[in-house]
Amino acid sequence: MQTNPPYKTSRGMSDYQIKMAFIMPTMILLILMNIFPLLWSLYLSFHRYKASMPTPAKFIGVRNYARLLQDPEIWGYFQTTAYFVVLAVAAQFLIGFGLALLLNREFRYKGFITTLFLLPMMLSPVVVGLFWRFILFSDNSGLLNFFLSPVLKSPIGWTTNPKVAMLAVVIVDTWMWSPFMMLIALAGLSAVPKYLYEAADVDRASAWFKFRWITLPLVSPLLLIALLFRTMDAFKMFDIVYVLTREGGPGTATETVSMNLYKLAFRNYNTGKACAMAYVLLIIIVALSNIYVKYLNRVKGEA
């Protein structure tokens, strides 16, 4: 079989060279900004190293990892994070999907109302944290305690009571991110073919039957993607905790792994240990994502 020789421009650049010329800037950028820091931080995780000190990195094997995995406080931060992820993502899923079901019909001002629901998602987490901290959750002058005062003996310590503080963080994160869940679910719902419901109506199927056997199977792949995004994002929770409960207080009641990682890396400048912790976090997120993706593929196959 005869193949055409590679086309050459008048200046002598082959197709391959042109392709490389287009790809190389991106490749170089990726290597410099992503691959190199990833490998460098892996290297540092096996060293005693402080970015704030001029002393060179000293190889200490897996000591950083051993110290981390043996530290009960670190496991406490992981537990706090897991507790937050489960509560927040579950609440966002239920509220978001519920709102999407309500909005998935024709009514007046639908577009305007949908936009209103999306507003919290568009705000900066720091602004949201401050807004809730001063306006709504303040023990003395917060609106929530004001409205609850007729039924409460004393104000709720939203950010000062260790038993309530996590709930406060979950409420804020749910307020902010349920619209994201709603948006994805709404996209899924509007893509379900109408004729399926019409056929079910002909067969006199119940509302629950239609939801269970038509809506849910067709929307679930998109819902799982939304869950995956939210789980990964919730696992990295930092900004709202930093602002709302002042660095994870009271005590360590709302101190997530990312919050602790920030302190380790940028306050204590314990760079080696912080790199090791970042890798532990990365492995957990990758593992969780894999479980989700496998489940997603199974659901897609069933659908």
Partner 1 sequence: MKSVRISLVLALILAFAFISATKADNHQSQSLTIVWAEWAPADYLQELSKDFTAETGIAVDVIQIPWPSFQDKVFTAFVGKSDLYDIVIGDSQWLGRNSQGKNYINLTDWINENIDVDAIYGPAMTAFAEYPKGSGTYWALPAEVDAAGYVYRKDLFEDPKEMAAFEKKYGYALAPPKTYDQLRDIAEFFTRPDDDLYGIATWYSKEYDGITMGFQQVMWSFGGTYGDADTYKVAGHLNSEDAAKALEFYTNLLEFAPPDAPNYYWSETLNAYNSGKVAMAMNYFAFFPGVLNPEVNKISHDKSGFFIAPAGPKGHYISIGGQGMSISSYSKNKDLAKQYMKWFMQKPVQEKWAALGGFTPHKEVLQSDTFKMATPFNEAFAASFPYLRDFWAVPEYAELLEACQTNWNEAISKIKSPKEALDAIARKHEEIFEDAGYYD
- Site of interaction with partner 1 (CB under 8 A): 48, 51-54, 73, 138-140, 154-155, 157, 159-162, 246-253, 255, 263, 266-270
d(CA 89, CA 198): 33
In the bound state with partner 1, the residue whose beta carbon lies nearer, of 209 and 266, is: 266
In the bound state with partner 1, the residue whose beta carbon lies nearer, of 123 and 152, is: 152
d(CA 51, CA 230): 32
Q: Rounded to 5 degrees, what angle do the CA atoms 85, 87, 92 make? A: 90
In the bound state with partner 1, the residue whose beta carbon lies nearer, of 120 and 249, is: 249
Tokens of 122: 């568009």
In the bound state with partner 1, the residue whose beta carbon lies nearer, of 170 and 253, is: 253
Answer yes or no: are the C-beta atoms of 208 and 123 closer than 8 Å: no
Answer yes or no: are the C-beta atoms of 27 and 35 closer than 8 Å: no
Q: Rounded to the nearest whole angstrom, what is the least distance from the CB of residue 147 to partner 1 in the complex?
A: 16
Q: Rounded to the nearest whole angstrom, what is the least distance from the CB of residue 56 to partner 1 in the complex?
A: 13
Q: Rounded to the nearest whole angstrom, what is the least distance from the CB of residue 266 to partner 1 in the complex?
A: 6
d(CA 87, CA 229): 15
In the bound state with partner 1, the residue whose beta carbon lies nearer, of 129 and 155, is: 155
Q: Rounded to the nearest whole angstrom, what is the least distance from the CB of residue 185 to partner 1 in the complex?
A: 37
Q: Rounded to the nearest whole angstrom, what is the least distance from the CB of residue 259 to partner 1 in the complex?
A: 11
d(CA 258, CA 242): 10
Spell out the residues 6+ positions from residue 199 whose beta carbon is closer than 8 angstroms to its own: none
